Structure 1
Amino acid sequence: MNKTLLQTDTQSYSCNASKQCAPLGACVVFRGIKGALPMLHGSQGCATYIRRYLISHFREPMDIASSNFSEETTVFGGNRNFNTGIDNIISQYHPRIIGIA
C-alpha cells in the first residue's frame, strides 16, 4: 500500500517586471521625455537588466547610464561614482535632461 504523504499543487507563476522594479519604470518615463537620458545610481547589473528588458520589449537600442556601484562603493559612499557618471553623460551624450533613478 503506497500512500502519498506530501501533496503538492503545481502552478505557473510569472510577474510583470514593470510592476516589480521602480527604476525600470523611472527609465521608461525618462525615455519618454525628449532629450532625456536616465541614469541609475546603483550597480551596473541593474542598468544592464533594465536595458536588456527594454530592448527586448521595444526592439530598439536604448541608452541607460549607471554610476556603477561595487560592494566597496556601497559601503564607503558613491559620491565619486555619481559625479564621474554625470560628467561622462554630459560629455558623451549631451542630454537636455538627466533623470536619476
Structure 2
Amino acid sequence: MEFAWGGHIDLTLKRTPDVGCEGNRYWLQGYSGHGVLPTLAAARAVSDAILGNTDELALYQGLSNGRFPGGKHFAAPLEAIGKAWYRLRDSI
C-alpha cells in the first residue's frame, strides 16, 4: 500500500452524522468514519436547503445524537479528560 490515511475521526454518540441548521448557519460533522458518500449526501442536502429545498435536510435533523454525557456538572471535565487522553496517545 502506497498511501494510507491515519487522521482523527469525529464521532457522535450514536455514530450518525450531525447535520442541521439554525437560521442561516449550517453544520455538517460527526461522520464517525463512514467515508465519503455520507459526506457528499449531507453536503447535497445542505446545498439544497440553502437553495430553498429543505426536504432532505429535514431527514438529517430527525436523527438525534443527544447531548454529551455528564450533564452540566461533568460534561466539561469529561471532555477535558478525553482530549488529554487523545493528546497523550498521539504524542507517543
TM-score, normalised to structure 1, is 0.29
Q: Which has the larger radius of gyration?
A: 1
- Structure-2-length-normalised TM-score: 0.31
